[in-house]
């Protein structure tokens, strides 16, 4: 179907904005679909120009909708000279999580001008030269490319705000792009690590294997390595090494800091071969799609569905606890039930 040709006619007739996003086959646990939709939505964002008209249009639209930023924030935005860049964040997050990241940026005297997507169509942020953009999810490479090539935005290449370490590095990169000296980030990160000690005690020395399903694997693995886990392999459906360059660098630095070798990263892994590679190390936990969870459980390997991380609130300092709650849940359950007894029963059943 000629969707691109039909959409403008329907839009004129219905008076409702129609965005064409060809997301056939929504692979990778819905994450590829989000990337496709956001890339299509970038073309509907207003233009930001050197005179600041795009910014004024954005402020007016949010004023009309009744959801404008605080007066002090809006005044700060309006007082920016044309040579000063503005910051737009992209990635679909719950409003509470987006507010938390906005607050973290505000603490560094950096105001977020808008989000892609926004809560309302009339609040889409201005894009163009002079706009800095930064992603919050590692699976938005198509959106990042569109923002740079089509809308001429400046991409801030940063690790992703997952875990205290990733969130700190993400904020530091944004500060660096704006020429701002970060304030209090080390203390903020240390405070969060102290609040996670009950979880890190469970995870230290435990091993994990990522089969690859939703493109969040690199960021989550990096965070878990920092928590003391051993990662045997990181499977990932595909990886844009340019978009994830900062995340890969942070993963390498984390491994050096923890004194462990860099885990193997396998793109588009063969699941049968992965299961064979699990036989010898026998990881304590496998992050996998739902299709492989029960077979692995039958082999005595605890599992966690990767799709749960897709829909959980895992971004920012305050949500690091939720990530570890998901990871440790099967481990804590087995400890409560008696891990050795259940594993031995599973192995005896397979032998028989």
The answer to whether the beta carbons of residues 243 and 35 sit under 8 Å apart is no
pLDDT in tens, 150-175: 999 999 999 999 999 999 999 999 99
What is the C-alpha separation between 235 and 253, in angstroms, rounded? Answer: 19
- pTM, rounded to two decimals: 0.85
Residue 220 has pLDDT above 70, yes or no: yes
pLDDT reported for residue 53:
46
pLDDT in tens, 123-135: 999 999 999 999 9
pLDDT reported for residue 338:
59
| Fold classification of 187-351 (topology level) | Rossmann fold (3.40.50)
CA angle, residues 239, 265, 147, in degrees to nearest 5 = 20
Per-domain boundaries in the chain: 3-156, 187-351
pLDDT in tens, 46-102: 999 756 544 444 444 444 433 444 444 444 444 444 457 899 999 999 999 999 999
pLDDT in tens, 230-248: 999 999 999 999 999 999 9
Which residue pairs, CB below 8 angstroms and at least 24 apart, start in 222-225? 222/159, 222/162, 222/163, 222/165, 222/166, 222/247, 222/250, 222/251, 222/254, 223/162, 223/163, 223/165, 223/166, 223/320, 223/323, 224/327, 225/251, 225/254, 225/255, 225/258, 225/260, 225/263
Segment 208-223 shows an average pLDDT of 95
Domain 3-156 architecture: 3-Layer(aba) Sandwich (3.40)
pLDDT reported for residue 72:
46
pLDDT in tens, 268-327: 999 999 999 998 899 999 999 988 999 999 988 999 999 999 999 999 999 999 999 999
Tell me whether the CATH fold assigned to 3-156 matches the one assigned to 187-351.
Answer: yes
């Amino acid at each position: 179907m000629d969707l691109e040709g039909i959409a403008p006619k329907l839009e004129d007739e219905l008076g409702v904005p129609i965005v064409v996003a060809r997301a056939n086959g929504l692979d990778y646990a819905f994450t590829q679909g989000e990337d496709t939709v956001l890339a299509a939505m970038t073309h509907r964002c207003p233009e930001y120009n050197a005179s600041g008209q795009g910014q004024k249009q954005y402020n007016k639209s949010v004023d009309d909708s009744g959801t404008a930023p605080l007066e002090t924030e809006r005044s700060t935005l309006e007082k920016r000279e044309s040579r000063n860049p503005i910051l737009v964040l992209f990635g679909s997050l719950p409003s509470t999580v987006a507010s938390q990241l906005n607050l973290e940026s505000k603490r560094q005297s950096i105001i977020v001008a808008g989000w892609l997507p926004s809560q309302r169509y009339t609040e889409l942020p201005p894009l163009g030269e002079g706009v800095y953009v930064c992603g919050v999810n590692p699976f938005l490479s198509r959106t990042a490319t569109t923002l740079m090539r089509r809308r001429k935005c400046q991409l801030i290449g940063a690790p992703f705000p997952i875990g205290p370490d990733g969130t700190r590095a993400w904020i530091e990169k944004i500060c660096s792009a704006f020429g701002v000296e970060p304030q209090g980030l080390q203390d903020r990160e240390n405070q969060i690590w102290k609040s996670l000690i009950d979880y890190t005690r469970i995870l230290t020395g435990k091993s994990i294997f990522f089969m690859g399903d939703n493109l969040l694997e690199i960021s989550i693995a990096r965070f878990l390595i920092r928590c003391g886990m051993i990662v045997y392999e990181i499977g990932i459906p595909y990886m844009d090494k340019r978009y994830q360059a900062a995340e890969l660098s942070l993963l390498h630095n984390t491994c050096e800091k923890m004194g462990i070798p860099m885990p193997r990263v396998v793109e588009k892994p063969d699941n049968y071969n992965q299961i064979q590679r699990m036989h010898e190390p026998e990881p304590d936990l496998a992050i996998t799609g739902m299709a492989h969870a029960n077979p692995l459980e039958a082999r005595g390997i605890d599992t966690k569905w990767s799709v749960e991380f897709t829909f959980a609130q895992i971004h920012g300092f305050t949500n690091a606890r939720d990530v570890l709650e998901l990871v440790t849940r099967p481990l804590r359950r087995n400890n409560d039930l008696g891990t050795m007894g259940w594993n031995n029963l599973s192995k005896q059943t397979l032998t028989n």
